[in-house]
Amino acid sequence: MKKGFMVFVLFVFVLAMTACSSKTDSDKKDKNAKLDIFSWWTGAGEEDGLKALLELFEEKYPDVPIENAAVAGGAGTNAKAVLASRMNGGDPPATFQVHGGAELNEGWVAAGKMEPINDLYEDEGWGDKFPQDLIDMVSKDGKIYSVPVNIHRGNVLWYNKHVFEENGLEAPTTFDEFFEVADALKAKGITPLALGDKEPWTATQLYETVLLGVLGTDDYLKLWTGDLSFDDPKVVEAAEIFTKMLDYINEDHASRNWQDASQLVADGEAAMNVMGDWAKGYFVNDLKKVVNEDFGYITTPGTDGKFMVITDTFGLPKGVSNADDVKKFLSVLGSVEGQDAFNVLKGSIPARVDADVSKYDQYGKDTIEDFKVSELSPSLAHGSAAAEGFLTKVNQAINIFVTQKDVKQFTDSMTSAAAELK
């Protein structure tokens, strides 16, 4: 009797375990079957382009379930940490947002975490559909690892047109003009420059535009190969100009993010801000402002003819169970239709050379033309110029610099961080 009872208990236990493990397997299967698309495009000014792209994919492939796995936080402030734990924990997303350049090549490709996708480029005939400079940014040792969905420009100065007109001011093109305009605005009680460095990358982005404006493209590029030192007099001059600009920012900069800072300009509480052209998506889609009526745009001081490139790209991580479906998604993202669905809303320009220019507003049209004729330089703040480890140190140094304004201390921190670039 007792033995019979034990056998019965054992039987029930085995049955329960089997049910339990088959449930886990099917859950896993469901999870793996879904294409989870990982990015940091959530909320105001960020997600409209992605949503349009996902809708287009669902129209084309209704049988492939997708999941928008975005993690909030500008420039990937939080997403990059979540991504790292997923990638290193053997749970890669089906595909994820990654900047072309160092972030992709020295990061995930060097770590052996990405599959080359040259075959996809061949199948889709993409060899001459993306500018060679962009293909180079997503390639390592002849292998291509991702597909650029866009090109954002980092060196844009946005300004409130009404404030400028009412005060008889012209958008500044040089640092001298910037300070003249800033003084005039300050005298009228208007905050000249909006900054929202609650997430420090925004200050890093402002700083890198000053570097480009002071040094020019060639010397700017030398910084990231270790061929120009951060204690070079010209680089120190850039740090001095950057601190001087900080004399003109809103007092509450440390409690605002990039959207909150852009909002100050849209509302006319501040006159200018320096931000990538995702700000245009925010001005137009979220704040309902009109390009060239409510707000204007110009390259940041000293950077006429120069283009700070930020490219968001998506690739194929190693170890995903649905590689064919991922490639379907990448093929839509890399198509003319996909690029035009995404970029018209995002504020960026299409990465493809044959997109439909007529779909873009005046800002987009101007930027498409500028890209063709400008000197290109990669953004540090957005991961293309140097590896993530260095960028983390720069963001920390900048964060201290913004409050302490100690050029010598900042120069020392940057010089020692840059030792790893050689």
Query: In the window 60-79, what residues touch ligand GAL (CB under 6 A)?
Result: 74-76
- Residue 48 engages ligand GAL in binding (rule: CB under 6 A): no
Number of chain positions touching ligand GAL (CB under 6 A) = 12
Question: Which residue carries 């959207």 as its tokens?
Answer: 259
Give the span between the Cα atoms of 254 and 271, in whole angstroms. Answer: 18
Closer to ligand GAL by Cβ: residue 310 or 326:
310
- CB–CB of 421/226 below 8 Å? yes
Determine the Cα angle at 112 with ends 101 and 114, to 5°: 65
Q: How many C-beta atoms lie closer than 10 Å to residue 212's C-beta?
A: 29
Q: 36 - beta bridge partners?
A: 67
Cα-trace Rg, the chain: 24
Residues 171-190 that bind ligand GAL (CB under 6 A): none
For ligand GAL, the binding residues in 301-340 under the rule CB under 6 A are 310, 312
101 binds ligand GAL (CB under 6 A): no
Residue found under tokens 């010209």: 234
Q: What mask, x for binding ligand GAL by CB under 6 A, covers residues 130 to 159? A: ----------------------x-------
Instruction: For the beta carbon of residue 229, count every other beta carbon within 10 angstroms.
Output: 14
Q: What stretches of 188-333 show up as alpha helix (H) in DSSP?
A: 201-215, 217-223, 233-246, 258-266, 278-281, 323-333
Distance CA 277, CA 275 (A): 6
- Provide, rounded to whole angstroms, the least separation between the CB of residue 184 and ligand GAL: 30
Cα distance between residue 138 and residue 127, in whole Å: 13
Q: Which is nearer to ligand GAL, 40 or 57 (CB)?
A: 40
If binding is defined by CB under 6 A, does position 107 make contact with ligand GAL? Answer: no
Q: Minimal distance in Å, beta carbon 331 to ligand GAL?
A: 21
In the bound complex, what is the minimum distance in angstroms from residue 68's beta carbon to ligand GAL? 14
Binding ligand GAL (rule: CB under 6 A), the pick from 105, 352, 382, 391 is 382
Q: Which of 278, 329, 401, 410 binds ligand GAL (CB under 6 A)?
A: 278
Binding site residues, ligand GAL, CB under 6 A: 40-41, 46, 74-76, 152, 276, 278, 310, 312, 382
